[in-house]
Amino acid sequence: MPSDTRRAVPAPVPMPERPFEEPWQAQAFAMAVHLSETGLFTWAEWTETFGTVLSMARTAGRPVDGAAYWEHWVTALEMLLAARGEAEKPALEALKEAWAEAYRTTPHGTPVRLGAS
């Protein structure tokens, strides 16, 4: 538990509230749900991993709320998939760079695809 427990809880926001601020957050959310439904991991394994990532971030004094929450979600997904041998770091790094390159080289108005070059 952090020693600073006096911070005010943000004021309640009237509903309805959009659950995701950006599409990647929704995709990351859906991947975790989907992979738990198809049995790659259980939801309990997911919450344990995600909880660990959040608490490590908190201990390190890094932000855990808002957009940071979803970044930690992605980190937990990468960790759990790496532990299952399904997502090695070099493969992910290469794909990430390939996507960035695809955005840089695809003209406006054209759908961005991998491997178009």
Partner 1 sequence: MPHDGHDHDHQAVPSDPALRVKALETLLTEKGLVDPAALDEIVDTYEHRVGPRNGARVVAKAWSDPAYLERLRTDATAAIAELGYEGRQGEHMVIAENTDTVHNMVVCTLCSCYPWSVLGLPPVWYKSDAYRSRAVIDPRGVLADFGIRLSDEIEVRVWDSTAETRYLVIPQRPAGTEGLAEDQLADLVTRDSMIGTGVALSPAEAGR
Q: Judge whether 57 and 72 are in contact, CB under 8 Å.
A: yes
Tokens at 54, concatenated: 């959040």
* Cα 117 from Cα 104, distance rounded (Å): 11
Residue 116, interface with partner 1 (CB under 8 A)?
Answer: no
Residues 11-30 that bind partner 1 (CB under 8 A): 11-13, 15-20, 22-24, 26-30
DSSP label at residue 60: T
* Cα 84 from Cα 34, distance rounded (Å): 15
State in angstroms the smallest separation of the CB of 83 from partner 1. Answer: 14
Options 59, 61, 90, 96; binder of partner 1; rule CB under 8 A: 96
**Site mask for partner 1 (CB under 8 A), range 57-86, x = bound:** -x-----xxxx-xxx--x--xx--x----x
CB atoms within 10 A of CB 50: 19
Residue 35, interface with partner 1 (CB under 8 A)?
Answer: yes
Torsion of CA 117, 71, 23, 99, to 10 degrees: 0
**Residues forming the site for partner 1 (CB under 8 A):** 1-2, 5, 7-13, 15-20, 22-24, 26-31, 33-38, 40, 42-44, 46-48, 50-51, 54, 58, 64-67, 69-71, 74, 77-78, 81, 86-87, 91-93, 95-96, 99-100, 103-108, 112, 114
